[in-house]
Chains A and B, each alone.
Chain A
Amino acid sequence: MAKLNDNGFEPKIVAFLCRWCSYAGADLAGVSRMTYPANIIPMRVNCSGRVDAGMVMAAFEKGADGVLIGGCHPGDCHYVNGNYKTRRRVILLKRALAEVGIKPQRLHLEWISASEGVKFQRTVTEFTGLIKELGPSPMSGDGED
């Protein structure tokens, strides 16, 4: 796969992946020997709805340049509606981030099912490319948005 805008900056990206869909999708990408940037730090959570707004903020506070949340497709949540809550949460979180001067694109929500190893690979590659373009997060101490 072609490298996206390689400017030497290696971002740190925290990925909260739900156990039932996106983490399984990441596993599939792994066992299928697909390659993707090593910038992501995957965190397995039981449901994307488990991702508290405070966890996203704390990730940025501790130096993440981007945060990816992976959940089940609408209608597929193992817990019925956790992903719908996350979707609304992300809308508000992006606005809160913008208001404190952090580009909202640094937070990304994607639905990735257990069979979508390719989509996981593509999402991580594209998101890492975007964060590389944006540069370091202003909250990590060395960037400016």
Chain B
Amino acid sequence: MEKIKVGIYWAASCGGCDVSLLEIDEQILDVAAKADFVLWPCAIDTKYADLRAYKDGSIDIVLFNGAIRTEENREIAKLLRDKAKYLVAYGSCAQMGGVIGLANLSSRKEIFTTLFGAKTHWPKEESNQDGYPLHLPAFLDRLLPLGDVVEVDYVIPGCPPPREMVSQFFDALLGGKLPEKGAVFAAEKNLCDECPRERREERITRIVRPHEIEPDPDICLLDQGIICMGPATRGGCGAVCPMANMPCTGCAGPPANITDQGATMLITIASLIGTGLEGEEELEAEEAILAEIDDVIGTFYRFSLAASIFKGAHRE
């Protein structure tokens, strides 16, 4: 039997997604037995020229991690789309921009000024190094999720994708049982659906950060005033963060019926706050509680800003 041709690519990413592929333990042996890796910059030496030599549609599946930050990322995303039968957005960055999507709050100019200082120190796209021409890919004005550049067939969410989801994906791939295009390898419902904590539907009277209190391990974190993104986040990870006394930060993105994860979480928090006071006193108390959130976008859009309605800042 001919082996399945698999490609793995990283664009703007931290490398955590590549490592997460190894979390499937001994299942990796099944993968190795049935699949050939034709591209994996993190692990094997393959060149773009080799990739270009493949016929269109001749690579069975490509797992693409990382966001589109440079012209190179965009070019390779388009190339891989042509070469692959199925293209998978692997991890939060490819799916919706990820943490690094928060860079969209700053302009290209602000980012370069912070990194390199005066404009004379900025890297140039075309330069000459020791007599050889050097081309650097352009840094895009805005970071984009993979789906903004090419059509994506499947999504494996998470930062990085948890073991169960990766394992479930390889089972489907190796067994020849890939679902219909558009499938997300995670739960349909939100995280709260699988979280074992007890929801008491308390009104929030103060907002605290995880290090400020010792949360009760059995009661919903929102009940205790910790902002947990569970209500606006897709389940499937087994609620691992809440079970470790840490709030969900939303890495899996929103469930299917929610388009803007941050907007949904924003109204959830606004609805949960309640002081029992009346009139002006009530308004003042509510304002004081909400003032405890000192980074609204960073809290509600930690992973999804680049894929949100806002997409980023609008100064330029």
CA distance A74 to B309 in the complex (A): 30
A92 to B289, CA, bound (A): 11
B314 engages A101 (CB within 8 Å)? yes
Per-residue contact bits, chain A 76-106, to B (CB 8 Å; 1 contact, 0 not): 0000000001011101110110011110000
Among the stretches A23-31, A35-43, A49-57, the one at the interface with B is A49-57
Instruction: Report which of A74, A92, A100, A145 forms a contact with B310, defined as CB distance below 8 A.
Output: A100
Contact with B along A113-145 (1 / 0, CB 8 A): 000000000000000000000000111000011
In the complex the two chains form, is A92's CB within 8 Å of B271's CB?
Answer: no
Interface status of B264 (Cβ within 8 A of chain A): yes
Contacts of B310 in A (CB 8 A): 57, 61, 96, 100, 139
Contact present for A101 and B313 (CB under 8 Å): yes
B297 proximal to A (CB < 8 A): yes
Q: B residues within 8 A CB of A34?
A: none
Say yes or no: is B185 at the interface (Cβ < 8 Å to chain A). no
> Any chain A CB within 8 A of the CB of B259?
yes
**How many B residues have CB within 8 A of the partner chain?**
30
Which residues of B sit under 8 angstroms from A138, Cβ to Cβ?
314-315
A57 touches B286 (CB 8 A): no
Residue B105 is within 8 A (CB to CB) of chain A in the complex: yes
Chain A residues near B259 (CB, 8 Å)?
54
Chain B residues 285 to 316 lying within 8 A of chain A, measured CB to CB, are 286-287, 290, 293, 295-297, 300, 308-310, 312-316
Per the bound structure, the CA–CA distance linking A102 and B296 in Å amounts to: 14
> A4 at the A/B interface (Cβ < 8 Å)?
no
Query: Which residues of A lie under 8 Å from residue B287 when comparing CB positions?
Result: 91
Closest to A59 in B: B309
Contact B297 A87 (CB under 8 A): no
Prevailing SS type, chain B contact patch: helix
How far is it, in angstroms, between the C-alpha of A102 and the C-alpha of B309 when the chains are bound? 13
CB pair A53–B286 under 8 Å, yes or no, is no
Question: Is B260's CB under 8 angstroms from A92's CB?
Answer: no
Selected from B279, B293, B314, the residue in CB contact (under 8 A) with A92 is B293
B315 touches A92 (CB 8 A): no
Q: Which of A53, A85, A89, A100 has the most CB of B within 10 A?
A: A100
Least CB distance, B214 to chain A, in whole angstroms? 27
Q: Which residues of B contact A99 (CB under 8 A)?
A: 105, 295-297, 313
CB-based contact B105/A88 at 8 Å: no
CB-CB under 8 A for A100 and B266, given A88-B273, A92-B296, A138-B314? no
Q: Are A85 and B271 in contact (CB under 8 A)?
A: yes
Q: Is the CB of A96 within 8 A of B313?
A: no
Smallest CB separation, A98 vs chain B (Å): 9
Chain B residues near A96 (CB-CB < 8 A): 262, 266, 296-297, 300, 310
- Kindly state whether residue B248 has any CB partner on chain A within 8 Å: no
Please state if A144 and B315 are interface contacts (CB–CB under 8 Å): yes
Chain A residues with CB below 8 A from B263, complex form = 52-54, 57
B22 at the interface (CB under 8 A from A): no
Measured between alpha carbons, how far is A52 from B260 in the docked complex, in Å?
A: 10
Chain A positions within 8 Å of B105 at CB level: 99-100
Residues of B within 8 A of A53 (CB): 260, 263-264, 266-267
A-B contact pairs, 5 of them (CB 8 A): A58-B309, A85-B271, A92-B293, A96-B300, A100-B312
Give B residues with C-beta under 8 Å from A: 105, 259-260, 262-264, 266-267, 269-271, 273, 279, 283, 286-287, 290, 293, 295-297, 300, 308-310, 312-316
A89-B271, A91-B290 known, 18 other contacts, Cβ within 8 Å: A52-B264, A53-B267, A57-B308, A60-B309, A61-B309, A61-B310, A85-B271, A87-B286, A88-B271, A88-B290, A92-B290, A96-B266, A96-B297, A96-B300, A96-B310, A100-B105, A102-B314, A145-B314
